[in-house]
Each structure stands twice: as C-alpha cells, then as structure tokens.
Amino acid sequence: MAWLSMVFTTYLFVFYFLPLVLASYHAVDHLSRRVGASSSGTCLALNALLVVASYLFYGWWNPWFILLMLGVTVVNYVCGRIIGQPGISRRLSFWVATFAVVVSLGTLGFFKYFMFLEINLNQALAWLGAGPVHVLEITLPIGISFYTFHALSYTLDVHHGTAPPVRSFLDFACYIALFPQLVAGPIIRYNTVADQLVSRTHTLEKFSSGVTLFILGFAKKILLANAMGRVADAAFGAQSLSAPDAWFGALAYTLQIYFDFSGYSDMAVGLGRMIGFEFLKNFDSPYKAENITDFWRRWHISLSTFLRDYLYIPLGGNRGGAVRTYFNLIVVMLLGGLWHGANWTFVAWGAYHGVLLAWERFQGKRSAYQRSPRPVRVAATFVLVVISWVLFRAATLHEAVTYLGAMLGQGGSGSGMLLIPALLYTRGTLVFMAVALLIVAWPTQAHDWSREITWPKAVVVHPLFCLSLMVMFSQSFNPFLYFQF
C-alpha cells in the first residue's frame, strides 16, 4: 500500500496550493530585491519558502513521512559536507559516500522491497515444506524512489567531484523536496541544478513558458491518460478477450502510461520554470524510437541517464568486451525494472528490455533490421514496446502471460468477450485515442513547443486549460501511475 501526497490534478492543488505558493514565492522575491538583498540571499529565502511548501505538499496525507524524507536529507547533507571538506582523503571520502549510499538504498530497500522479500521467502519455505515467517506490513512512502535517487545523486556527484558541496542545508533540503518533481520525477541530477539553487532568474518569458508546459501536461493527463486508463483497466481486468481487443487494451495502456508520465513530467518542468528552475527534458517522442536502444534514449531520460552514469558505467559499461557489455545491460535493466516496484512483473519487464538491448548490440548496425526502412523500424519497435507494457501493467506474471496469450488469440471464451466492446469502443474512447495517436506522431513536443509563446499558442492554451479543468471536475477516475513507483 502506498500513501498519496497532494496531486497536481486536484482542486486543492490547482486552486489553493499553487496560487498561494506562487504568490508567496514571487512576493518574497520582489521584496527581497526591493530591500537590496543579494541574488544568493534572495535565493536562500526563496528556497526556505519552497522547503516549507514542499513539506506541506509531501506530508499532506501522512505528515509522519516527512520525518523519513528529512532523515535521508540530513544523512546525505552531512555526508556531502564531510566529503566536500578540503583535503579529505580519497579513502575517507569513499567510505562516507558508501555510508550515505547504504543508508539511502537501505531506506528504499526496507520500505519498498522488504515485504516482497518476505512474501517470496514464505513461498520458498512453503515449497520446502516449512512454515511461513510473519509478514511485516509496510506502508510505502510515496516518492521514496525519487528522493532517495536525488540524495544519492548529490552524494555521488560531490564524491566524484562533478559538483560542489551544497552551501546550506536549506538549499539541499530544497533540492531533495522540491515539490514539482518530488513524488514522480523527473529525477533531477544535483549537478544539473546546483547553480540554480544558488542563483536563478525569474522572467515573464520563463514563467509563461512554464505555464504553457504545465497546461499541456495537465491536459495530457486529464484528457488523454485518464480516458486511456479506463480502457486499459477494462481490458486488463477482463475475463476473456479476443486478440484485437487485447491489442486495443495494450495500446490504450501504452498511451495511458506515456501521457500520464510525460504529462506529469511536463507539469513538473512547467512548475519548475514558474519558480525559476530549468529542468531537463524527460521524454523525447519515445514512441518514434527506431529501436529499443533509441527508445531508452527517449523514455524517462532522467532515469536512463541516472542508471547509465551511476550503474552501467561503474559496472564497466562496454569496456569489458561484448559478453560483459550484454551482461551489464541486462543487469542494469533488471535493476531498473525492480526500481519501478517490488513485483516479478517489473523484473520481467526489465529483463525483456535488457535482453532486447543486448540483442541489438549483438546484431550491430548492419543487421537486416537496421537496414530496413525507418517506418518499419519505428513500427517494429513500437510493437515490442507495447508488448513490454503488458508485463509492466499486469498485476502478476500469470496475468501477464494470460494477457499476452490473449494477444495471440488465446484469450479464452465466454460471454464477457462479447460484452466488453461496451467498455472498450465508446465514442469518447475512440476520439481520445485518435487524438492521442495524433499527438504521439506530431513532430513537435510539448517541451519545445512551450519555449516560445506566440499569440496563436497563447490563444489555444487557455481554452485547453479550462476544458481540462472542467473535465477534471467531472472525473472521479484520476490515478497517477508513477506515484506508485
């Protein structure tokens, strides 16, 4: 079970939290400049305000988990300060960094994977004929996967000398808890925002482009992801499915997870711009990828680069020969899969991607596949990705295999198969799926589209926001998929 925090697409966030935070933030900025405070002093005051707002945002549904996040923050801050001391030995730096990594990953491991281990241990014990151990029920704190990675990124960057140690605890707490990216990313690497924590600019252009990106993300989530989610839920919950229905459901989930997560990322980056931050792009038209390697350059870029820099390269990357490279790729993807959740389905999903990455590396650039026309490569990659989402979406491996069987025409029989079109092929579903596919194929992305605002864009964006809000008012189905990770 996971606790929720405040969610961007709620009445409370849009109409109370956000206006209050923006008003306070820009009022403090304005006042600070009027009294002649330095740029860094102003930033410190703004960071303090953001820490308070972010802790309120995070602790909204369970204030006690603030303490856990604070604990991870303090440990990594202190370790970073020690590592950053001038003249510290390389050896001590290594052990302090190791301590921080163990504490952060230990926290993540305990809250996210301990129950999973217990349950699997019990299954193994049952198989051996032994009695079960008592399963400790652990509540998963929302966003823990993201903020522990943020903390790790800081400690490791400082240890490797790629970023300076933070100047104050407030700056660091702000980096860890910054509400736009706190609970569902993107994973912000410390060295990409270190400067912005000390000094950042606030301009009308940046604010407006942030507003535009936030609205586009909001619309993606409310209008497209939720509509696709209803279809996916119906298909994945169905008793029996024909092959076309199963593919339709898998396609709906493929679109749901993209618009859900990229919508969230757009909102996060947009909110960041509104308060002066510039975060990197987290999606780059992933469904236009030409192969799986390309897909991982485009999907959840902040995670794939994190795994590349902090796991794949330390494992040896491609420096140990072909076989070692394949092994590293598969290990990284397995762990990347497991990062998404304590379930064998995520492990299988990671393994699937790892094997495909290794296979592509093995095939090289001269394979028949790589020499085929680009539309064929894109379409084939898309199909492979759709299949992978089945592993990701299913509640159990058995369910995933059953669903994949349905996609191959082994979806069973029964009256349910004949009735399910009522839930899958409604007029609304078809309209939203067509729009979603059109946007997937559209050459321009929200992140880039929002950079420069012209009158036609400004005129389009407001009605889109109002429409999305009205749809939000009428919806009760409003999950955020990446919150569970």
Partner 1 sequence: MPIDRRAYVYLAAGFLAVIIAPGVIQTVAELRRGETPGALELFLRPPTARNLHAYEHGLEASSLVIQRLRPRMQYAEWRFLDDAGEKAVVGREGWLFYRPSVRYEVERPAIGPESDSSDPLPAIRSFRDQLQARGIRLLVVPVPNKESIYPELLTRRAQGLGVVVNEQTQHLLDELDRNGIEHVDLFQVFRRVKQDQGRTGTGRLYLARDTHWSPAGVHAAAASIARQVLAGGVLSRGDHAYSERSVVAQRAGDLVEMLRSASIKGSLLPESVVCSRVVQSDSGAPYEDRPDSEILILGDSFLRIYEHDVPGAAGLIAHLARELGRPLASIVNDGGGSTLVRQDLARRPALLSNKKLVIWEFAEREIRFGTEGWRIVRLARSASEFN
Using the rule CB under 8 A, give the single segment among 144-152, 169-177, 349-357, 463-471 that binds partner 1. Answer: 463-471
Answer for the pair 164, 86: CB distance below 8 angstroms, yes or no: no
In this structure, what token pair is assigned to residue 87? 């003249």
- Residue closer to partner 1 by CB (options 132, 237) is 237
Range 329-338 contact pairs with CB under 8 angstroms and sequence separation of 24 or more: 329/354, 329/357, 329/358, 329/361, 330/354, 330/355, 330/357, 330/358, 332/307, 332/308, 333/357, 335/307, 335/311, 336/303, 336/304, 336/307, 338/113
- Which one is catalytic: 340, 398, 447, 462? 340
Report the candidate in 55, 92, 105, 97 with the shortest Cα–Cα distance to residue 76. Answer: 97
- Residue closer to partner 1 by CB (options 36, 443) is 443
Contact with partner 1 (CB under 8 A) among 102, 419, 434, 441: 419
In this structure, what token pair is assigned to residue 303? 């995670």
Using the rule CB under 8 A, give the single segment among 190-198, 275-283, 303-311, 459-467 that binds partner 1. Answer: 459-467
CA end-to-end span of the chain: 11
Regarding 259 and contact with partner 1 (CB under 8 A), the answer is no
Other C-beta atoms lying within 10 Å of the C-beta of residue 19: 11
- Which DSSP string do the residues of 199-216 spell out, in sequence order? -----HHHHHHHHHHHHH
Report the C-alpha gap between 461 and 472 in whole angstroms.
16
Footprint of partner 1 on 50-89 (CB under 8 A):
60-63
Footprint of partner 1 on 185-214 (CB under 8 A):
204-205, 207-208, 211-212
In this structure, what token pair is assigned to residue 181? 């990216």
Minimum distance from residue 180 beta carbon to partner 1 (Å): 15
- Residue closer to partner 1 by CB (options 235, 338) is 235
In this structure, what token pair is assigned to residue 151? 């903390």
Binding string, residues 21-50; x marks residues near partner 1 by CB under 8 A: -x----------------------------
Regarding 314 and contact with partner 1 (CB under 8 A), the answer is no
Regarding 469 and contact with partner 1 (CB under 8 A), the answer is yes
- How many residues bind partner 1 (CB under 8 A)? The answer is 56
Answer for the pair 209, 451: CB distance below 8 angstroms, yes or no: yes
Regarding 409 and contact with partner 1 (CB under 8 A), the answer is no
Altogether, the residues listed in the chain come to a count of 485
Minimum distance from residue 167 beta carbon to partner 1 (Å): 31
Contact with partner 1 (CB under 8 A) among 140, 232, 238, 390: 238
- Residue closer to partner 1 by CB (options 48, 460) is 460
Answer for the pair 268, 186: CB distance below 8 angstroms, yes or no: yes
Minimum distance from residue 462 beta carbon to partner 1 (Å): 5
Regarding 428 and contact with partner 1 (CB under 8 A), the answer is yes
Report the C-alpha gap between 260 and 480 in whole angstroms.
7
Contact with partner 1 (CB under 8 A) among 198, 280, 453, 464: 453
Contact with partner 1 (CB under 8 A) among 8, 9, 18, 151: 18
Regarding 454 and contact with partner 1 (CB under 8 A), the answer is yes
Tell me, yes or no, if 340 is annotated catalytic: yes
Contact with partner 1 (CB under 8 A) among 8, 14, 226, 389: 14
Regarding 234 and contact with partner 1 (CB under 8 A), the answer is yes
By CB atoms closer than 10 A (0-12, 13-18, 19+), residue 151 is buried
Other C-beta atoms lying within 10 Å of the C-beta of residue 470: 11
Contact with partner 1 (CB under 8 A) among 316, 320, 321, 416: 416
Answer for the pair 289, 307: CB distance below 8 angstroms, yes or no: no
Catalytic machinery residues: 340
Q: Which residues sit at the interface with partner 1, rule CB under 8 A?
A: 10-12, 14-16, 18-19, 22, 60-63, 204-205, 207-208, 211-212, 215, 234, 237-239, 414-416, 418-423, 426-428, 431, 452-458, 461-462, 465-466, 469-471, 473-477
